[in-house]
Amino acid sequence: MQSQERDRIAAFLDGAVDAGASSQEVAALVAATFRRVHQALVPIVGERGMAALYKRSLHLSRPMHPWLAGAAEGSADGAAADAEFAVDLTSLTAALATRSSAEAASAGTQLLDCFRALLTTLIGETLTERLLRPVWVTLLSGAYARDTKS
Amino acid sequence: MTSDATIHRLLTGVPGLDEVLGGGLPEFSFNLIAGQPGSGKTTLAHQIMFALATPERPAIYFTVLGEPPLKMLRYQQQFDFFDSEAINRSIRFINLSEEAVDGDLDRVLRRIVDEVTRHSPALVFVDSFRSVVVASQTHEARPSNLQHFVQQLGMWLTSWQATTFLLGEYFTESDANPVFTVADGLIWMRQSVQRNSMVRKIEILKMRGQAPLSGLHSFRLDSAGIRVFVPANAVAATVRDAIPALADVRLTMGVAGLDEMLGGGLPRGYSLLVAGPSGSGKSNLAAAFLAEGVRCGETGVIAPFEQDPHRSRDRTVANLIESGHVGFVDMKSLDVSIDEVLVLLLNEIRRLKATRVVIDSLSGFELALAPTYRDDFRESLSRLVTSLATVGVSVLMTTELEDRYTDLRFSPYGTAFMTDAIIVQRYIEVESRLRRVMAVVKVRASAHSDQLREFSIDAGGIRIGQMLADQEGLLGGRPTRKPAALQAPAAPSDAHG
């Protein structure tokens, strides 16, 4: 399941690792990327539509990174009734931060690409590319240092 | 000095719809697209939106509860008109499920107003309106709530110079729905199923400020989207102006001897019915008619309902089609309507500026029609013949006619009266051989031969022979030789009847 986007995500996150980013910093980058995805998609598919796609991506990524289960179960204080229908990036950041930065980058790449691939199976390559273009353009074009130190 | 408001009309990009609407959609109108689930509302809305939206004239498509937006995008992108590049550039999808989920119409209205204010769309779609209504009913029992919502929405969007479409299900016409009062346009989409065939129809119940074409108009939904079939008489007039007006002359038929039998050829603009039993040579006559037209520098169109001309052993028609002189209306899809056939024919006629048309055969045509249209086949056929006559083309139609030797009949549908000329072919038995005879039964307002002429078919086509003057009782199928003393000279005299 190699794709151009996967390569770009991997280059972005691995670049951060090479530049000496901590696992917390990698986790923040992944979360920031998901926030951009969220911004791009929620107006179209709704909060719950976005949450369903996110949860499915987590589920599909777990065989490779079983510790992502923590991100799916939600944070300790996530007592909101709608937790099932929300994208819980706090839990994701927390789960990623417990691993090494290389591991966090690998899992982040897997999760983001899984999300993209899932959307592709539903609405096709062209439209997925069209909807997520602002995400890749604004987040992945810049170098790690510029993005995180801002 | 008065200066009335000018109402611009938007062309919807849906083939046939603008004609049915009475000249496109009035700009800033507030329209309702209603119909059962699966009737094509969302597709119609998308097709209009993709045709009309530009960066300068952007569209917002609000999705409410109901079909999940991802699924809608998944299916709509299968249509040719869907353009991913337009999304987020000239077309914006906005999901309102969060606002609608607790049924608070004010919240839904506020969000719509916010988004419309922010983006100033020229086109607004709300899909589906029914889910707004249902959500409001679960919320509070405030009957004025919905009416208030619709009026506010209509007022706001019109003031904001947006042309609006509400998509809704399950509306009934008798229902005194407040939406109907507010709406400038009511587009109703229906589907009816009879036996194994499904027929889709569209009706414009209301269109303020213009005169839509009344009644149910059939439409087709395929990968290209929706195509509405405009009633024949409305199309015919436009085609008439497109094809060359020809002098009042007679057409040659391409079969030696037949022109003389017709009294000098077929008068231009006439419809000719060729009736005969299976295998008698009706299609050969039709092919000769088209080939002769091409020889004379005319073009033609054929609607073959019986056999694919490309697979026919007789290559005449296939060669004419390949040469580009004869257009071909592909009738492989069943469940067609007469209007659909006529529109396809007229399009080909217009494209080729054709003057000769062949329908081979009426029996096959009837079978190709959806069952629901078969009941009034005769009436529809009459409309078709009239429309083609309006256009000014000459039409040759074949019809299967079982040989009956006890009575003399010319057509199975009582179609004889609606055609201008009739040729009948029959089998007869003479000296233990099956032979063919042909006669011209009618040529309106013209003298014609009354002879029964034997004919044969070989590689060169139809060859008309002599009268079988030594036989009598031919129409009984089993002629007998006349006594020698009564026999007339056998030479053809071409005496006109």
- In sequence order, what are the beta bridge partners of B191? B200
- In sequence order, what are the beta bridge partners of B452? B439
Q: Mind listing the pLDDT tens digit for each residue in B278-329? A: 888 999 999 999 999 999 999 999 998 877 777 776 788 899 999 999 998 8
Whether B492 is in a domain gets the answer no
Residue keyed to tokens 């690792």 = A17
User: Which residues, 6+ apart, have CB-to-CB distance to B176 below 8 Å?
Assistant: none
Same domain flag for B19 and B159: yes
In this prediction, residue B402 carries a pLDDT of 73
Decide: A50 and A142 in contact? Cβ < 8 Å: no
Same domain flag for B224 and B370: no
Domain boundaries, chain A: 4-141
Q: Which of A46, A124, A129 sits opposite B77 (nearest CB)?
A: A124
Q: Mind listing the pLDDT tens digit for each residue in B39-96? A: 999 999 999 999 999 999 999 999 987 778 899 999 999 999 999 999 999 999 999 9
**Residue ranges making up the domain that contains B39:** 9-230
Alpha helices in B22-142 (DSSP H): 41-52, 69-76, 97-100, 105-119, 129-139
Same domain flag for B108 and B188: yes
Whether B478 is in a domain gets the answer yes
Residues of B with CB below 8 A from A42's CB? 95
Same domain flag for B87 and B226: yes
| Residue finishing a domain among B170, B196, B230 | B230
| CA–CA distance, B52 with B31 (Å, rounded to integer) | 15
In this prediction, residue B400 carries a pLDDT of 86
| Contact check, Cβ <8 Å, B92/A43 | yes
| CA–CA distance, B246 with B224 (Å, rounded to integer) | 36
| CA–CA distance, B69 with B29 (Å, rounded to integer) | 25
Alpha carbons within 13 A on the beta-carbon side of B94: 22
Same domain flag for B132 and B99: yes
Residue keyed to tokens 């077309």 = B91
| Contact check, Cβ <8 Å, B74/A42 | no
Same domain flag for B118 and B226: yes
Domain CATH for B185: 3.40.50.300
Give the ipTM of the model, two decimals please.
0.78
**Structural tokens at position A2:** 């190699």
Q: Mind listing the pLDDT tens digit for each residue in B320-359? A: 999 999 998 877 666 777 778 888 888 899 899 999 999 9
* Number of CB pairs, chain A paired with chain B, less than 8 A apart: 53
Whether B497 is in a domain gets the answer no
| Residue finishing a domain among B177, B198, B230 | B230
Whether B371 is in a domain gets the answer yes
pLDDT band (50, 70, 90) for residue B489:
low
- In sequence order, what are the beta bridge partners of B456? B463
Same domain flag for B162 and B248: no
User: Which residues, 6+ apart, have CB-to-CB distance to B361 below 8 Å?
Assistant: B282, B283, B305, B306, B397, B398, B399, B400
Decide: B121 and B162 in contact? Cβ < 8 Å: yes
**DSSP for B88-120, written as a single string:** TTTEEEEE-HHHHTTT-HHHHHHHHHHHHHHH-
| Contact check, Cβ <8 Å, B93/A43 | yes
Same domain flag for B17 and B125: yes
Same domain flag for B273 and B333: yes
pLDDT average, residue stretch A81-96:
80
Distances (CA, A) of B297 to B206, B251, B290, B359: 47, 12, 11, 21
Residues of B with CB below 8 A from A126's CB? 77, 84
Domains of chain B: total:
2
| CA–CA distance, B63 with B85 (Å, rounded to integer) | 19
Tell which of B70, B88, B119 to mutate to test the A interface (max A CBs under 10 Å).
B70
Interface contact B448, partner A, CB < 8 A: no
| CA–CA distance, A129 with A124 (Å, rounded to integer) | 9
Same domain flag for B333 and B211: no
Whether B3 is in a domain gets the answer no
What is the enclosing helix (H) or strand (E) of A106?
Answer: helix A101-135
| CA–CA distance, B180 with B291 (Å, rounded to integer) | 55
Same domain flag for B289 and B331: yes
CA distance A123 to chain B (A): 4
Q: Mind listing the pLDDT tens digit for each residue in B389-415? A: 888 899 999 988 876 666 556 666 666
User: Which residues, 6+ apart, have CB-to-CB distance to A81 below 8 Å?
Assistant: none
| Contact check, Cβ <8 Å, B69/A45 | yes
Same domain flag for B106 and B251: no
| CA–CA distance, A33 with B3 (Å, rounded to integer) | 56
Residue keyed to tokens 């497109």 = B242
pLDDT band (50, 70, 90) for residue B143:
low
**Structural tokens at position B100:** 């609608």
Residues 80-99 of B with CB under 8 A from A: 84-85, 87-88, 92-95, 97-98
| Residue finishing a domain among B195, B211, B230 | B230
Residue B56: strand, helix, or coil: coil
